[in-house]
């Protein structure tokens, strides 16, 4: 094989922090170009017919995945089974345009010293600068003569290039212990999906918390290395990622689509935030926090450990500072993606920099349904932190895309029991309702940027919601267009306990279960919050959104998490937003 080594390409490939250094050993521009088709002729699925699947799963035990696309590359990811690791054996990767990877366009080599236990034998290859824009590619890894399964990835179109339409799958909250991943099988099989956006809770730090994990699935039990119920450090977090990524439906969805991923709270700890007074992680439900106080050093290290494991086990392009001993210096995961001239996606991080909850750190009547608390409008209640907020504000103002899209974790709109538009009690101040001062500032930034095309994609609450985003929620009507800032679509959880299940577990001991459940029923939510047009918190699944030049269409699918099958029952609700006006279409 002729080696065409290019120093510039090698440096570019190895410069991205935490990407695995590699040498590009072969480029073959004459390998043949395959007609990959148009939107009506979708690219083929990977062809694994010549792959020894048993050997592939033995060595590449968590299969392969791709993420964080650019117009000239993607991140490729795999993991070498520690039992089969050889300290002297390099890993080879190949990229092709044919589904069987028989005619590689690129081939690279990764030295064994770069596949060490220090990164838990994970491999992340940054191909930015190596590929062509708006193209589908196929890739595989080879180790000791054994091929991985073949993955499929896609690059972004050139910035500002004309794009007619594009479809995203939206995922969140995939508690492994609480159900099966049939929803991800549907995502894998949908050939019209261009990219997958995951809004957080890729893992849950708990392996049996009775507040939201009833553990009815014996075959999905997790025993942490620490033998605790909650992750206590890096080994626990790594074990969780390996367990979650062992699921074949998740593997399949990550093999055939390129993912864009951010975090929510459960990648670290439930309802976490940053305790600025103590300069450490705030984790109200973690065992490191006790009635006698908390260990600031241990909590800071817990955040660092969760960050490292997330970077290791996701195909994300984020820089890290290996020498940092503070989580805010270790890495920065908020970032943006431009899909031609059609839309720009800003993936937010609303956990690392957010302030404590405004009404205390207890469950009911503090973080949820707080009473006699008016601290939500305090100027210190930041959700994003100054640096991220200014980045988002500037990015929205400079964006020239037809649609501006926020990848957001917790519900941005108001959700309250109210009277004539005035809130009497907020349902959840772990969401943006607890950070109203910053929400108002964000809406000012939307107005300042002259956006008439804001779309907020949200997860976290394990609920289907379609809603208007308003400048002023005190105005009840949705007909006054000057008060409409955009729309918000909340995707349901893949498998995590829905809102009613969680609330039932938490309030049963209070003897007021019926009253509290009724407060968050669909009818009560929509009557008290007329900007919310659809609300369903009794089912699990996923959603898709397709952007066109004239409208975006959100489809939310319900998939039974209790069925261990590739294709459990699926139902649909659909909502549409037109650029030249607001139209809601709902199909039960």
Residue 159, domain member (yes or no): no
Tens digit of each residue's pLDDT (9 = 90 or more) over 133-155? 999 999 999 999 999 999 999 99
Q: How many domains does the chain contain in total?
A: 2
Residue 433, domain member (yes or no): yes
Tell me if the pTM is above 0.85.
yes
> pLDDT grade, residue 38 (50/70/90)?
very low
Residues 430 and 504 in one domain: yes
One-character DSSP codes across 405-417: EEEESS--S--EE
Residues 169 and 80 in one domain: no
Lowest mean pLDDT among 99-113, 377-391, 529-543, 565-579: 565-579
41 C-beta neighbours (distance < 10 Å), count: 9
Residues 176 and 223 in one domain: yes
Residues 208 and 274 in one domain: yes
Residue 92, domain member (yes or no): yes
Residue 587, domain member (yes or no): no
Residue 456, domain member (yes or no): yes
d(Cα 187, Cα 501) in Å, to the nearest integer? Answer: 25
d(Cα 574, Cα 588) in Å, to the nearest integer? Answer: 8
Tens digit of each residue's pLDDT (9 = 90 or more) over 511-547? 555 555 555 667 778 888 889 999 998 899 999 999 9
Residues 198 and 123 in one domain: no
Give the end of a domain, one of 115, 133, 154.
Answer: 154
Give the end of a domain, one of 95, 127, 154.
Answer: 154
CATH number at residue 368: 3.60.21.70
436 CB burial (10 A radius; 0-12, 13-18, 19+)? buried
Handedness of CA 503, 507, 509, 513 (dihedral sign): negative
Tens digit of each residue's pLDDT (9 = 90 or more) over 111-124? 999 998 999 999 99
d(Cα 253, Cα 196) in Å, to the nearest integer? Answer: 9
Residues 147 and 233 in one domain: no
CATH number at residue 34: 2.60.40.380
Residues 219 and 246 in one domain: yes
Residue 544, domain member (yes or no): yes
Residues 411 and 547 in one domain: yes
Residues 176 and 252 in one domain: yes
Is pLDDT at 216 greater than 90 in this prediction?
A: no
Residues 291 and 326 in one domain: yes
CA distance between the termini of the chain: 58
**pLDDT, mean of residues 303-320:** 97
- The residue segments making up the domain with residue 348 are 165-578
For residue 453 the two structure tokens come to: 């095309």
**pLDDT, mean of residues 486-509:** 80
Lowest mean pLDDT among 32-46, 227-241, 342-356: 32-46
d(Cα 471, Cα 445) in Å, to the nearest integer? Answer: 11
255 C-beta neighbours (distance < 10 Å), count: 22
Distances (CA, A) of 206 to 176, 286, 327: 10, 10, 21
d(Cα 561, Cα 443) in Å, to the nearest integer? Answer: 36
Give the end of a domain, one of 121, 154, 187.
Answer: 154
Residue 196, domain member (yes or no): yes
Residue 396, domain member (yes or no): yes
Residues 222 and 349 in one domain: yes
Residues 376 and 507 in one domain: yes
d(Cα 330, Cα 375) in Å, to the nearest integer? Answer: 31
Which are the contacts of 388, defined by CB distance < 8 A and separation ≥ 6? 334, 348, 349, 353
């Amino acid at each position: 094989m002729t080696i065409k080594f290019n120093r510039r390409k090698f440096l570019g490939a190895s410069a991205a922090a935490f990407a695995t250094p590699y040498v590009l050993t072969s480029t073959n521009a004459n390998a043949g170009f395959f007609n990959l088709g148009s939107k009506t002729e979708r690219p083929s699925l990977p062809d694994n017919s010549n792959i020894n699947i048993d050997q592939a799963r033995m060595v590449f035990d968590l299969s392969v995945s791709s993420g964080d696309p650019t117009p000239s590359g993607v991140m490729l990811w795999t993991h070498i089974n520690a039992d089969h690791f050889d300290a002297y054996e390099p890993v080879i990767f190949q990229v092709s345009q044919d589904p069987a990877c028989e005619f590689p366009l690129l081939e690279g080599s990764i030295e064994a010293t770069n596949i060490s236990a220090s990164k838990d034998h994970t491999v992340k290859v940054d191909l930015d600068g190596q590929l062509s824009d708006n193209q589908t590619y196929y890739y595989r890894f080879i180790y000791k003569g054994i091929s991985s399964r073949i993955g499929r990835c896609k690059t972004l179109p050139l910035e500002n290039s004309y794009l007619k339409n594009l479809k995203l799958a939206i995922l969140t909250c995939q508690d492994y212990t609480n159900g099966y991943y049939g929803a991800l099988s549907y995502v894998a099989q949908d050939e019209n999906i261009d990219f997958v956006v995951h809004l957080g809770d890729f893992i849950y730090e708990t392996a049996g918390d009775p507040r939201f994990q009833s553990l009815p699935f014996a075959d999905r039990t997790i025993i942490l290395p620490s033998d605790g119920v909650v992750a206590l450090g890096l080994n626990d977090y790594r074990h969780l990622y390996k367990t979650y990524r062992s699921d074949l439906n998740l593997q399949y969805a990550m093999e055939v689509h390129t993912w864009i991923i951010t975090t929510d709270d459960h990648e670290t700890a439930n309802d976490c935030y940053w305790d600025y007074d103590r300069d450490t992680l705030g984790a109200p439900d973690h065992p490191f926090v006790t009635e006698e106080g908390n260990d600031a050093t241990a909590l800071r290290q817990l955040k660092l450990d969760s960050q490292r494991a997330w970077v290791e086990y996701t195909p994300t392009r984020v820089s890290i500072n290996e020498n940092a001993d503070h989580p805010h210096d270790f890495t920065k995961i908020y970032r943006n993606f431009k899909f031609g001239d059609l839309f720009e996606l800003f993936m937010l991080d609303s956990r690392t920099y957010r302030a404590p909850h405004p009404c205390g750190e207890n469950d009911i009547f503090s973080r949820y349904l707080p009473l006699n608390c008016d601290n939500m409008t305090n100027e210190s209640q930041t959700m994003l932190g100054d640096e991220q907020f200014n980045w988002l504000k500037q990015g929205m103002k400079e964006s020239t895309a037809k649609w501006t899209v926020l990848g957001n974790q917790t519900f941005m709109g108001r959700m309250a029991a109210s009277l004539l538009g005035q809130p009497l009690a907020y349902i959840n101040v772990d969401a943006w309702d607890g950070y109203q001062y910053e929400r108002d500032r964000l809406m000012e930034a939307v107005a300042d940027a002259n956006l008439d095309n804001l779309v907020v994609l949200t997860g976290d609450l394990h609920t289907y919601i379609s809603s208007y985003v308003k400048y002023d929620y005190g105005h009840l009507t949705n007909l006054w267009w000057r008060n409409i800032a955009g729309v918000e679509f909340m995707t349901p959880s893949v498998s995590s306990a829905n809102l009613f299940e969680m609330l039932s577990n938490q309030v049963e001991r209070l003897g007021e279960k019926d009253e509290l459940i009724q407060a968050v029923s669909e009818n009560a939510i929509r009557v008290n919050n007329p900007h919310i047009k659809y609300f369903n918190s009794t089912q699990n699944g996923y959603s898709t959104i397709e952007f066109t030049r004239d409208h975006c269409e959100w489809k939310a699918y319900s998939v039974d998490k209790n069925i261990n099958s590739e294709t459990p029952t699926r139902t649909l609700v659909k909502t549409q937003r037109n650029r030249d006006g607001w139209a809601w279409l709902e199909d039960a």
